[in-house]
Structure 1
Amino acid sequence: MDAMQSSPARSRYDIDDWDPEDVDAWANGGAKIARRNLIWSIFAEHIGFSVWSIWSVMVLFMPQDVYHIDAAGKFVLVALPTLIGSVLRIPYTFAPAKFGGRNWTVFSALVLLVPTVLTLYFMAHPGTSYTTFLIVAALAGFGGGNFASSMANINAFYPQRYKGWALGLNAGGGNIGVAVIQIVGLLVIATAGNRAPHLVCAVYLVLIALAALGATLFMNNLTNQRTDARSMIEVLRHRDSWLISLLYIGTFGSFIGFGFAFGQVLQINFLAGLSQGGPVTPAMAAQASLHAAQIAFLGPVLGSLSRPVGGWLSDRFGGGRVTLYTFAAMIAATAGLVIAGEIDDASPGPASGAVLATFVGGFIVLFILSGMGNGSTYKMIPSIFEAKSRGLQRLSPIEQRAWSQRMSGALIGIAGAVGALGGVGVNVALRASYQGAAHSATMAFWVFLVFYVLCAAITWAAYVRTPAPRTAATPAAATVEAAV
């Protein structure tokens, strides 16, 4: 392979015959090309995540006496972009192969101008109908699709031995966009109060333009990248595709769901403490928004930073084992939240300091663990299909690698879409829990706990326990457990 040369008939940004497994080409410039594309992929995906989660910040600027939207309505505003972003991840997975990774990154970044401009405009008009706010929030879902195209693109750039770290870094750098926009929101609330949401949108209009410009100048298209609809259908014939997607609901679904809802959940709790059950004043609402913003960003920051760690640990010890241990720890953390919630529900009045501290600490631990699980689960995808490809004796080694890459790229899109739907489930569960008799999140914590137990059991049974002896007729199946 000559990773450094582009076909004369093509743009200077196009690369033909890219083969990251070619050790000599990788050492002689291939690694540098991959790293440059990774850097700008991270930045563009980062902005996509920020715009996707912009309504988790906007709800902190929406006091009920001004916008006339209650807590239940705000949970829907936060959940809707998650749903739309989840659906868009399927077509976005095909896009880098169809249009080129560079070309699609530029386009998908520029599309984010639409929801950002509309959010800026309508947030300045509190009398806008709730239906209009729902439509504008849904358009923010475009930012959620960027993850799938970015991950499929970077998966093609890196060799198997570095995929865990590269995919973890790419995803973690994107995930941290959830936290960064919350930090921007915190700075705005702290300096201009909770009535200046347009300042948050203005910052991101500049960053979107920068992401599009950087992708234009510094990224490449891989002309031999292949992911198509047939790959999506083919990958669904494998049991592992369904299991990985389910596990990703538990990891990424938790991360994105908590990331979108954490600020609002904190705001509800702080507001309850400030009002002591009495009427809520504008000053109380502003103070609760500030307190929530001061804490809300910590979880997404730590969860994003822990994602590459999960990928790195998986490169060393295996994605299956790291994922299992992560779910075990998530079970313990969620059990702590259940206990704290039951104590709070049984006590009249606002939550005590100890209960609130347990509540905040438990959520942050879940962020860290779900971030690690994101990295370890995604590391399992290329490992599984690389192992399966060895059993395809009718294919040459080059064809086996191409098949593995196509299947991995397809499942990255599917798992990303299904996992993001878990974020919708988190917000729906929290909304229903707060509408219950106790008006708390405890029932939602019970749901999360049961689901994490299910995920841990599946991980152990499918990828960690010593596999039963297999026949020689199924060599690929016999190597999957060892590969992950």
Structure 2
Amino acid sequence: MSTTSTTPAGTTGTTATTPSTETSERPSRLRALTAPRKRVIRDWDPEDTAAWEAGNKQVARRNLVWSVATEHIGFSIWSIWSVMVLFMPQAVYGFTAADKFFLVAVPTLVGAVLRVPYTMATAFFGGRNWAIVSGFALLVPTVLTWWLMVNPGHSLTTFLLVAGLAGLGGGNFASSMTNINAFYPQRMKGWALGLNAGGGNIGVPVVQLVGLLVIATLGNRRPEVVCAVYLVLLALASVGAAVFMDNLDHQTANPRAMLEVLRHADAWVISLLYIGTFGSFIGFGFAFGQVLNQTFLAGLTGGAAPTPAQAATASLHAAQIAFVGPLLGSVSRVWGGRLADRRGGASVTLWTFVGMAAAGVLVTLAARADDVTTGAATGLQLTGLIGGFVLLFVLSGVGNGSVYKMIPALFETKSASIPGPAVERTAWSRSMAGALIGIAGAIGALGGVLINLGLRASYQGASHSATAAFVVFTLFYVGAATLTKVRYRR
């Protein structure tokens, strides 16, 4: 077992290691340094418990803290348009409810697609270096969002292009998760990945809280204040990453691994399950405020065109509630990862989907009851709608943590059947897990696109409500529970 020496905790110098005999015999292709040589940790072995207790856990924790910070801001920018639509009364901007669902679907799509190259970016540039670059890159969509919101009158296409740039923030998740996966031992991956992802996911409710504070104090005509706050936070997080993070010399995601992992049927099954968990979280996170806004508008106007005062009131009511679901879903992701460490990822995932199906039924019944009654939604109907949504958020967060726990455990089991030295089996397992983390993250985020497009289509239907979309979502959760039971809970 190798003995790892590190710089004292709290310093920012390069960390060095003394390789063991087994490590020194590692084929050169596995030791190839792809990250730049500045601030690089060499031959990092998180499974070396002696080195871990001697100081490596502090190094890993320091990188985790700043990885969470940069990913958190990335999530906030990715979801900033879920807040901007609350500052966009139709009388001023000219966009319908269907247009706004389309507007928040575009950054979801861009973020999903970018997760694949962002997964590989840590291997080529280093986790620290990429955290810096990807953080500063988010200044561009933030500044453009500021400019566009204070200059209404542009076409929907222009708004879609700027919103698409906010999708850069969605890619940060994949690079951050791949990086932290390499820092932590197998026995702690569920907790570490859950904490990293949960801390990032909290960026969704936090930006919505910032929006709420602005609407409550300044009204729904000052969206530039939200952008200004995040310009400052982006700068702080990127500088912190530069000062406190490190690169590793053996990042585990690369194009060859990403192609190889797709040959495994489990890669597609896991990605499908992640559509149901993370896709639900990010899709509802982007859409919940808009669903509430439309519900409150319908109650205030009775279907007529809203006045500016009614639009402001509906936006404030929606903002007061919308952040709660994403916040609880983000926190529950950490708990879901830890629970999966103890109970097994497949078991937790199965019961998560059972619960999500039940919550979907509750939301559907509440929405249907509102459809068939005249006037504003009753207190019971709002309780069912909001309570069901909150349950969906909490359970999707738990499922996010449990599904990601399944990934390294799955390939750790598969690696036992591979002939050769243990170091090569471990390297293969990490490479496959890192690759699937990126791919599942990308495919899972597409679920958010489907949710927003489904809600858009549902609102354009004859009932002008979200009920039809809720029925489809519920049926998907039933199917996901069945798939998990059949394939992983035999």
TM-score by length of 1: 0.94
Partner of 1:468: none
Amino acid at match of 1:128: H
Give the deviation of 1:125 after TM superposition: 0.2
CA distance in 2: counterparts of 1:110 and 1:422, whole angstroms: 27
**1:119-142 deviation digits (Å, cap 9, x = unpaired):** 001100011222111100000000
CA distance in 1: counterparts of 2:170 and 2:371, whole angstroms: 35
CA distance in 1: counterparts of 2:64 and 2:76, whole angstroms: 18
Partner of 1:426: 451
CA distance in 1: counterparts of 2:138 and 2:17, whole angstroms: 32
CA distance in 1: counterparts of 2:168 and 2:192, whole angstroms: 24
**Alignment match of 1:321 (pick from 324, 342, 347):** 347
Partner of 2:463: 438
The 3-state SS of whatever aligns with 2:417 is: coil
**Alignment match of 2:182 (pick from 156, 159, 163):** 156
Equivalent runs, 1:187-198 vs 2, <5 Å = 187-198=213-224
CA distance in 2: counterparts of 1:278 and 1:47, whole angstroms: 38
**Alignment match of 1:104 (pick from 130, 133, 154):** 130
Equivalent runs, 1:321-470 vs 2, <5 Å = 321-392=347-418, 394-465=419-490
Equivalent runs, 1:189-268 vs 2, <5 Å = 189-268=215-294
CA distance in 1: counterparts of 2:370 and 2:283, whole angstroms: 23
CA distance in 2: counterparts of 1:200 and 1:341, whole angstroms: 31
CA distance in 2: counterparts of 1:123 and 1:129, whole angstroms: 12
Give the deviation of 1:239 after TM superposition: 1.1
Give the deviation of 1:186 after TM superposition: 0.2
Partner of 2:171: 145
Query: Structure 1: which 5+ runs fail to align?
Result: 466-484
**1:255-282 deviation digits (Å, cap 9, x = unpaired):** 0000000001100000111112333110
Give the deviation of 1:341 after TM superposition: 2.0
Partner of 1:471: none
Query: Structure 2: which 5+ runs fail to align?
Result: 7-14, 19-32
**Alignment match of 2:106 (pick from 80, 99, 120):** 80
CA distance in 1: counterparts of 2:251 and 2:43, whole angstroms: 9
Answer yes or no: is the 8 Å Cα contact 1:90–1:414 preserved in 2.
yes
CA distance in 2: counterparts of 1:279 and 1:409, whole angstroms: 50
Answer yes or no: is the 8 Å Cα contact 1:389–1:401 preserved in 2.
yes
**1:44-82 deviation digits (Å, cap 9, x = unpaired):** 000000000000000000000000011111111100000
Give the deviation of 1:349 after TM superposition: 2.6
CA distance in 2: counterparts of 1:463 and 1:159, whole angstroms: 23
Answer yes or no: is the 8 Å Cα contact 2:270–2:440 preserved in 1.
yes
1:342/1:107 CA distance change after superposition, 3 Å: same
CA distance in 2: counterparts of 1:194 and 1:227, whole angstroms: 43
Give the deviation of 1:350 after TM superposition: 2.6
1:195/1:305 CA distance change after superposition, 3 Å: same
CA distance in 1: counterparts of 2:356 and 2:451, whole angstroms: 15
- Equivalent pairs counted in the alignment come to 464
Partner of 1:469: none
CA distance in 1: counterparts of 2:375 and 2:458, whole angstroms: 18
Give the deviation of 1:182 after TM superposition: 0.1
**Alignment match of 1:58 (pick from 84, 87, 96):** 84
Partner of 2:309: 283
Give the deviation of 1:225 after TM superposition: 1.9
Answer yes or no: is the 8 Å Cα contact 1:3–1:18 preserved in 2.
no
**Alignment match of 1:67 (pick from 90, 93, 98):** 93
CA distance in 2: counterparts of 1:416 and 1:320, whole angstroms: 18
RMSD: 1.3
CA distance in 1: counterparts of 2:155 and 2:250, whole angstroms: 48
Amino acid at match of 1:187: L
The 3-state SS of whatever aligns with 1:382 is: helix
**Alignment match of 2:16 (pick from 6, 9, 24):** 6
Answer yes or no: is the 8 Å Cα contact 1:6–1:12 preserved in 2.
no
Answer yes or no: is the 8 Å Cα contact 1:3–1:17 preserved in 2.
no
CA distance in 2: counterparts of 1:337 and 1:70, whole angstroms: 23
Give the deviation of 1:395 after TM superposition: 2.1
Partner of 2:118: 92
Give the deviation of 1:7 after TM superposition: 7.9
Give the deviation of 1:353 after TM superposition: 1.6
TM-score by length of 2: 0.93
Give the deviation of 1:13 after TM superposition: 2.0
CA distance in 1: counterparts of 2:305 and 2:187, whole angstroms: 59
Moved more, 183-192 or 348-357: 348-357
Amino acid at match of 1:456: A
Amino acid at match of 1:176: I
**1:64-102 deviation digits (Å, cap 9, x = unpaired):** 000001111111110000000000000000011111000
Answer yes or no: is the 8 Å Cα contact 1:61–1:289 preserved in 2.
yes
Amino acid at match of 1:441: A
CA distance in 2: counterparts of 1:359 and 1:3, whole angstroms: 55
Partner of 1:470: none
Give the deviation of 1:33 after TM superposition: 0.3
CA distance in 2: counterparts of 1:116 and 1:342, whole angstroms: 38
Answer yes or no: is the 8 Å Cα contact 2:115–2:442 preserved in 1.
yes
CA distance in 2: counterparts of 1:448 and 1:255, whole angstroms: 12
CA distance in 2: counterparts of 1:368 and 1:225, whole angstroms: 32
